[in-house]
Amino acid sequence: MTSSQEIFDSLIIGAGPAGLSAALHLGFQRRKVVVVDRRSSPMYFYTNPVNNYPGVKPNCSGVQILKKIQGEVSEYGIPIQSGNVISIQGKCPDFEVEVLPKRRTAPPTMFKAKTLVFATGTARMHPCVKGDWRRWLRYAGKQNISFYCPECESPLTTGKDIIVVNTGTVNSALYIANRVKPFAKRIRIFMTEDSYMPFKEEDKDILDRSRFEWTSGLIERIEAATPGENQRLITTTEQVFECNHFFVAWVAIPRSELAVKMGVEVDQKGNIITDHRGKTNVEGVWAAGDIRPITQSVAMAVGTGNYAGVMIDHFLRKLD
Ligand SMILES: Cc1cc2nc3c(=O)[nH]c(=O)nc-3n(C[C@H](O)[C@H](O)[C@H](O)COP(=O)(O)OP(=O)(O)OC[C@H]3O[C@@H](n4cnc5c(N)ncnc54)[C@H](O)[C@@H]3O)c2cc1C
């Protein structure tokens, strides 16, 4: 184990838009900050243009927005450390945070910080292809082949033939189908039988009673062609389903295990509970972005991250 000699004013877990926005404000206030990230923000992989974040239209993707904010954060000399936070000890203002570097051969590093921000987001359950969700990643959020966000992307299905590929509960499939209904030309639901949430017998009745065509099965392969045209989903029984886009109905699992271990309060789903400023029940600990029970969007992540940064700066003034 190596130890960083510095004591940081704040250590931010997660370099998605929430964590980076908190870092940006604190850096501007000349605070000593480190951001740690294991690089699984959806912003790293989605290349569809973002339509609902101000000032970036017409063709700025998630990854481009993230790179811009990373550049601004780096201008304040804030390190964005690649690694996985695996444990947190101590209490405010003496937190000790253990980080396992991305390079497995390197030893863990211990960081000391006065305050913490959980900007850890949520894990999304992708559909499995041949039993492995990693095989779906090449289609996730890529060039309008598959959509994920009903709030951000439903209108992009206008006049299109959509297959809702479900990895969550039957209710999440129906929610997406209903959100897309005012726009799409045709909607079918494909219930994956190897998904995170088991597909139950009673789900069939619910789907039969719904106004949507549906089927279930296991995905053998995807033939994703031109974005927006002729996507093909082929099942293990060689059934072929063609559409313009897939819309994934997923389960979100908040990444709050570490917070829970230190006594941070979460709701039934595991989202971190805070006051409206992002302050948790544990002294010196804030949360921002998707990890809070709020609409999952870049704008909300940036807003809550900024607010957490402002409040931490105020809090640190009392410790200075
Ligand atoms: C395909 C897709 C398309 C989307 N399109 C849009 C859109 O068009 N418009 C829009 O507004 N929103 C969109 N969203 C939602 C948006 O991407 C999220 O709301 C936003 O990224 C949330 O930001 P965040 O910073 O809270 O969390 P995240 O972006 O999820 O970042 C959290 C980071 O924390 C890191 N982390 C977690 N735990 C640890 C740990 N223990 N140690 C180290 N690092 C850790 C993760 O690796 C991750 O990088 C989309 C999402 C998806 C999946």
Q: For ligand 1, atom 35, name the residue with the nearest CA.
A: 14
Asked whether residue 113 falls in the same domain as residue 147, the answer is: no
Residue 10 has pLDDT above 70, yes or no: yes
Task: Note whether 310 and 22 are within 8 A (CB).
Answer: no
Q: Does ligand 1 have an atom closer than 6 angstroms to the CB of 41?
A: yes
Q: Does ligand 1 have an atom closer than 6 angstroms to the CB of 289?
A: yes
CATH number for position 97 = 3.50.50.60
Asked whether residue 142 falls in the same domain as residue 48, the answer is: no
Asked whether residue 14 falls in the same domain as residue 79, the answer is: yes
Q: Quick one: average pLDDT of 80-99?
A: 96
**CA of 173 relative to ligand 1 center, distance in Å:** 21
Atom of ligand 1 at shortest distance to CA of 141?
Answer: 1
Mean pLDDT for the chain overall: 93
Q: Can you name the residues that pair with 59 across neighbouring β-strands?
A: none
Asked whether residue 159 falls in the same domain as residue 241, the answer is: yes
Q: Does ligand 1 have an atom closer than 6 angstroms to the CB of 250?
A: no
Asked whether residue 45 falls in the same domain as residue 66, the answer is: yes
Q: For ligand 1, atom 37, name the residue with the nearest CA.
A: 120
Provide the pLDDT for residue 46. 79
pLDDT digits (tens, 9 = 90+) for 162-190: 999 999 889 999 999 999 999 999 999 99
pLDDT digits (tens, 9 = 90+) for 125-163: 899 999 999 999 888 888 788 999 998 899 999 999 999
Asked whether residue 260 falls in the same domain as residue 271, the answer is: yes
Q: Does ligand 1 have an atom closer than 6 angstroms to the CB of 16?
A: yes
Provide the pLDDT for residue 228. 66
Find the domain containing 267 and state its range: 2-123+253-319
Asked whether residue 235 falls in the same domain as residue 262, the answer is: no
**CA of 211 relative to ligand 1 center, distance in Å:** 32
Asked whether residue 230 falls in the same domain as residue 257, the answer is: no
Helices 17-28 and 298-319, interaxial angle, to 10°?
40
Q: For ligand 1, atom 15, name the residue with the nearest CA.
A: 297
Atom of ligand 1 at shortest distance to CA of 42?
Answer: 53
Asked whether residue 109 falls in the same domain as residue 11, the answer is: yes
* Distance spanning both ends of the chain, measured CA to CA: 29
Both structure tokens of 116: 């913490």
Atom of ligand 1 at shortest distance to CA of 86?
Answer: 41
Q: Quick one: average pLDDT of 183-211?
A: 92
Asked whether residue 240 falls in the same domain as residue 294, the answer is: no
Distance CA 136, CA 130 (A): 10
Percent of the chain's residues with pLDDT above 90: 75
Domain boundary (204, 231, 249) is at: 249
Provide the pLDDT for residue 67. 94
The number of domains in the chain is: 2
Domain boundary (202, 228, 249) is at: 249
Task: Note whether 167 and 127 are within 8 A (CB).
Answer: yes
Asked whether residue 45 falls in the same domain as residue 64, the answer is: yes
Provide the pLDDT for residue 80. 95
Asked whether residue 238 falls in the same domain as residue 272, the answer is: no
Closest CA to 163 of 125, 219, 237: 219
Provide the pLDDT for residue 1. 64
Q: Does ligand 1 have an atom closer than 6 angstroms to the CB of 17?
A: yes
Q: Does ligand 1 have an atom closer than 6 angstroms to the CB of 154?
A: no
Domain boundary (229, 249, 269) is at: 249
Percent of the chain's residues with pLDDT above 70: 98
**CA of 207 relative to ligand 1 center, distance in Å:** 30
Residue 70 has pLDDT above 80, yes or no: yes
